[in-house]
Amino acid sequence: MTLFYCLLFLVGAVLGSFSSVVIHRLRSWEKGIFMGRSKCPHCETQLQARDLFPIFSYLHSWWKCRYCHKKISIYYPALELALWIFFVAIWYFVSDISLVIWWSITELLLLDFWLFVGFFAFIYTVYDILYLEIPESILMILIVGILAFLGIHTIFPQIYDIQTLPTSIWWWSFQNIFSILFVYLSIFLLYIIMLFWLEEKYDVLIFSSIIWGLIWIKYMFWLTLSDFPMYSALIWTLCIFWFFFFQILVSKGKWMWAWDLRIAIVLGLLLGYGFWHAGVMLTYIFGSIIGIGILIYQKYIKQNKNFTGEIPFWPFLTMWLFATIFFSEQIESILKNYFLL
């Protein structure tokens, strides 16, 4: 346990430090995100190795630059510490700690996946808070990573602990590979809708074609689509995507912007992985409630005349997304006991 806490602290602090570099260089369009040298934000002196130890360098230099002696913002160690705490929460709630300690390959891969998701979710959350936008590159890497993970688990179904496999393993493998190709193509088509290259009637046609494709697959091969991770993820992606897309059409882009459809893909792919379907509505509802609360506070209580009404919506969605993932069993129990007839 102590070893893993130390490893998570090291990984979380280092990646937290790296996240501040990524956020700054993405915003400033500065090249060399991975190979560029870090500089003091005030005097722009290149930092040495001893200046780059997460948290410790900040404390050792008494939160000042060693070269110009100007105060360094607490923003940097705060990111490092926050990501470490976030990683510990992911390890505690998502993975089986006993299996991780005994170096279970399956559990370690699962933990690595959620740490990967958590890292990029952390970057786009902070970026949205600071700049009220999210870089396409971050979302693209995250979506590709999620699809790759789902594809690997689909090819190796034993990771999902499926109790009963069909008699023909060849037929099962064919269905898995077909599901991967179909879902990858569907996500590509959703991106075409999201870019608004086509007229709305063609967007609806594409969306309807994906749904009819799923129905055809279900009855052509007599499948329970929820048994296939890729199909399950796609179904919930379509539900959230249409929910957001409908709001854009009705409000003509005033309630949500076209690029917000990207989070529909992220939420759908993640919430479709397991029994976290209730998190779709919980994530959106609680995020909306907090956002509306901030809006009312700024405009009517504080009467901030400089408030433009723009608030970072993605952080709230991400917060409730992971809350849903962390407490999925409790949510499932509440739904079964109080809301399902």
In a domain, 68, yes or no: yes
Total domain count, the chain:
1
In a domain, 18, yes or no: yes
Contacting residues for 185 by C-beta, under 8 A, at least 6 apart: none
pLDDT at 159: 45
In a domain, 22, yes or no: yes
pLDDT digits over 227-272, tens only? 777 888 888 888 888 888 887 778 776 667 777 788 888 888 887 6
In a domain, 29, yes or no: yes
Domain housing 102: 1-134
How many whole angstroms separate alpha carbon 260 and alpha carbon 269? Answer: 15
pLDDT at 188: 92
In a domain, 103, yes or no: yes
In a domain, 183, yes or no: no
How many whole angstroms separate alpha carbon 282 and alpha carbon 284? Answer: 5
- What global pTM score does this model have? 0.78
Intervals of the chain under pLDDT 50: 158-167, 275-276, 341
Q: Rounded to the nearest 10 degrees, how much is the dihedral formed by the CA atoms of 247, 250, 252, 254?
A: -50
Query: CB neighbours (10 Å) of residue 77?
Result: 21
In a domain, 224, yes or no: no
Contacting residues for 282 by C-beta, under 8 A, at least 6 apart: 320, 323, 324, 331
Tokens of 221: 């091969």
pLDDT at 163: 46
pLDDT at 273: 53
In a domain, 13, yes or no: yes
DSSP string, 60-93: HTTTB-TTT-PBPPTHHHHHHHHHHHHHHHHHHH
How many whole angstroms separate alpha carbon 319 and alpha carbon 324? Answer: 9
Distance of CA 90 to the CA centre of its chain: 13
